[in-house]
Copies of this chain bind each other. A is one copy, B any other.
């Protein structure tokens, strides 16, 4: 059965499995002990560190293993911020970072620090000039604390986990170097495909994203970068990752990173071809679809699109029934009922959102079957929701108000589309909605339809009023 969510987790790579089994026998002892089992464990740990460091492009003594990519990010951010406390308390991050970076930022803000989010364009990429400008923001201040107000750390992912867009890491790294600000690159999605461009100060990654086991993250800190690990520590992993090393998993992680790198060029080209096919064919096969993310500067294995008039949860469950495992950034698939922060920052449609991420071994036939199944699935969901299928009726009506309060995504947009054709050109439709997704999806609908989004304001009886002007 085709599994299309490799960006969440991937089945264990055969090399990882083999290495894990061998290391369960050879690497269970404490590498800090001096007897033979301990020495054997130490040799395995040292070899794994060397292999991982080579793939990352750093020295072995710059790299430690953490219990997950998330923990690597949390430790990296807090250690770098603390190491530069005297410079300032500002953390600069892109608006589309992984939640682990944003959570680290929330913890920093809760402790009194400042977090600046750098916006992204419609493809999901930051503009290096905008990022550079953010580094210099913040007034010098003292306030009796003896601390400066400068930027302590900047974070930029190598590529986005939801839409696959690659970030301009080299350009941003150059800007950071010019500003004297260390840059942490979260390479969780890209490290299996190749090294991160030069210029980073800290780098994080997660083994289970490249087919390694769960339970292993990487944190690399360049020599010379001020770094003060936070929280209790011990003698393990240079004092940067306390607790007994998960050695069998570490061995498997390093072995599989080497293996996927060896296959990266071939597999990347193959998967890029499959994704290109999906990006081209989906809008031809399914009406009212927005394919998102950069068409060229992107990861080879991620494809994301959103379908108007469809709710993500039903779409996912219908695709699951057909045997396809995908994820979604739609609000209805989130526990908080808000659309993905990535789609929101990009300003693209969030309803009916589908993220498909392939792994090595995905077959062309799986993609064919996906393309064969998708149009019927979307049509079924739209039928069930009463989405407008036909062109709008003749335009002659007055300005309209649609009260969609109490209704969740995608109903507010469906209600808008149903009545829009009955308003004269130059007239307006006002949609009242208390659904968080409407704020994103109504402007996105206007963009897709070439209509004018006038703006939003709080509605007197709750929710917001979204005003759309008919221009054609």
Contact = CB atoms under 8 A, between A and B. Distances in A.
Interface of A: 1, 3, 5, 8-12, 17, 20-21, 24-25, 28-30, 33-38, 67-71, 74, 78, 99-100, 103-104, 106-107, 206, 208, 213-215, 217, 231-235, 242-249, 313, 316-317, 319-320, 324-327, 333, 335
A428 B108 CA distance: 60
Contact of A215 (B12, B234, B246, B317): B246
Contacts of A24: 12, 17, 20, 213
Contacts of A25: 11
A1 to B, nearest CB: 8
Nearest to A328: B34
B231 A74 contact: yes
A100 B242 contact: yes
A245 B103 contact: no
A28 B9 CA distance: 7
A3 B37 contact: yes
Contact of A103 (B3, B107, B233): B233
Nearest to A211: B28
Contacts of A36: 1, 320, 325
A104 B33 contact: no
A325 B243 contact: no
A98 to B, nearest CB: 10
B208 A103 contact: no
B316 A34 contact: yes
Given A67-B71, A68-B244, A107-B231, 12 more contacts: A8-B29, A8-B30, A9-B28, A20-B24, A28-B208, A34-B333, A35-B324, A69-B243, A100-B242, A215-B246, A231-B231, A246-B249
Contacts of A319: 35
Contacts of A249: 214-215, 246, 249
Nearest to A37: B325
Contact of A232 (B33, B38, B103, B245): B103
A231 B9 contact: no
A325 B100 contact: no
Nearest to A246: B215
Contacts of A313: 34
30 contacts: A3-B29, A8-B29, A8-B33, A9-B30, A9-B244, A12-B28, A28-B208, A33-B325, A34-B317, A34-B333, A35-B316, A35-B319, A35-B324, A35-B326, A36-B320, A67-B243, A68-B242, A68-B244, A69-B243, A100-B232, A100-B243, A106-B232, A107-B232, A213-B246, A213-B248, A214-B248, A215-B215, A215-B249, A231-B231, A249-B249
